[in-house]
Copies of this chain bind each other. A is one copy, B any other.
Amino acid sequence: MTTNRTNIPFSRDILEQTLKRRFFFAPSFEIYGGVAGLYDFGPPGCAFQNNVIDAWRKHFILEEDMLEVEATMLTPHDVLKTSGHVDRFSDWMCKDLKTGEIFRADHLVEEVLESRLKGDKLARGVEVTEEEDEDKKKRKKKVKEIKNIKLDDEVVKEYENILAQIDGYSGPQLGELILQYNITNPATGGKLEPPIEFNLMFDTAIGPSGNLKGFLRPETAQGQFLNFNKLLDFNNEKMPFASASIGKSFRNEIAPRAGLLRVREFLMAEIEHYVDPEDKVHPKFDEVKDIKLKFLPKNVQESGSTELIEESIGKAVESGMVDNQTLGYFIARIYLFLMKIGVDANRLRFRQHMSNEMAHYASDCWDAELQTSYGWIECVGCADRSAYDLSVHSARTGEKLVARKTLSEPRVVENFEIEIAKKKFGPKFRKDAGTVEKWLTSRTQCELEDLGKELAEKSKIVVQVPGVEGDIELDGDLIKIDKVKRTEHVREFVPNVIEPSFGIGRILYSIFEHQFWCRPDDADRGVLSLPPIVAPTKVLLVPLSNNADLQPIVKKVSQALKKEKIPFKVDDSSASIGKRYARNDELGTPFGITIDFDSLKDDSVTLRERDSTKQVRGSIAEIVEAIKDITYNDGTWEEDTAKLKPFEGQSA
Shortest A64–chain B CB gap in Å is 13
Q: Which of A383-399 contact B (CB under 8 A)?
A: 393, 397, 399
Bound Cα distance A207, B252 (Å)? 6
User: Which of the candidate stretches A39-47, A362-370, A409-417, A490-498 sits at the interface with the other chain?
Assistant: A39-47
B265 touching A209 by the CB < 8 A rule? no
A462 interface hit (Cβ, 8 Å): no
Known: A23-B234, A102-B208, A231-B23. A72 touches B28 (CB 8 A): yes
Classify the secondary structure of A's interface with B: mixed
Per the bound structure, the CA–CA distance linking A29 and B26 in Å amounts to 35
Q: How distant is the Cα of A203 from the Cα of B216 in the complex, in angstroms?
A: 11
- Tell whether, in the assembled complex, residue B68 and residue A43 are in contact, meaning their CB atoms are under 8 Å apart: yes
- Please state if B69 and A46 are interface contacts (CB–CB under 8 Å): yes
Given contacts A102-B209, A209-B100, A252-B207, contact A32 B71 (CB under 8 A): no
Residues from chain B with a CB closer than 8 A to the CB of A205 are 202, 252
Contact size class for A?
Answer: 35 or more
A50–B209 alpha-carbon span in the complex (Å): 34
With A62-B567, A227-B42: A74-B202 Cβ-Cβ less than 8 Å: yes
The answer to the question of A93 belonging to the interface, with a C-beta cut-off of 8 Å to chain B, is yes
Q: How many monomers of this chain does the complex have?
A: 2
- CB–CB B76/A35 < 8 A: yes
Quick check: B74 and A265 within 8 Å, CB to CB?
yes
Given A43-B234, A70-B45, A74-B265, decide whether A79 and B397 contact each other with a Cβ distance below 8 A. no
**Given A26-B227, A73-B248, A393-B31, does the pair A264, B40 have CB atoms closer than 8 Å?**
no
Nearest CB of B to A419, in Å: 26
Given contacts A32-B76, A43-B68, A204-B202, contact A26 B265 (CB under 8 A): no
Across the interface, do A254 and B69 meet the contact criterion of CB distance under 8 Å?
no
In the complex, which residues of chain B have a beta carbon less than 8 angstroms from the beta carbon of A38?
72, 74
What are 12 A-B interface contacts by the 8 Å CB criterion?
Answer: A22-B234, A28-B223, A28-B226, A29-B75, A31-B397, A41-B70, A46-B68, A46-B70, A74-B265, A102-B209, A202-B204, A204-B216
Residues of chain B within 8 A of A573, CB atoms compared: 236
Chain B contacts for A67, CB-based, 8 A: 42-43
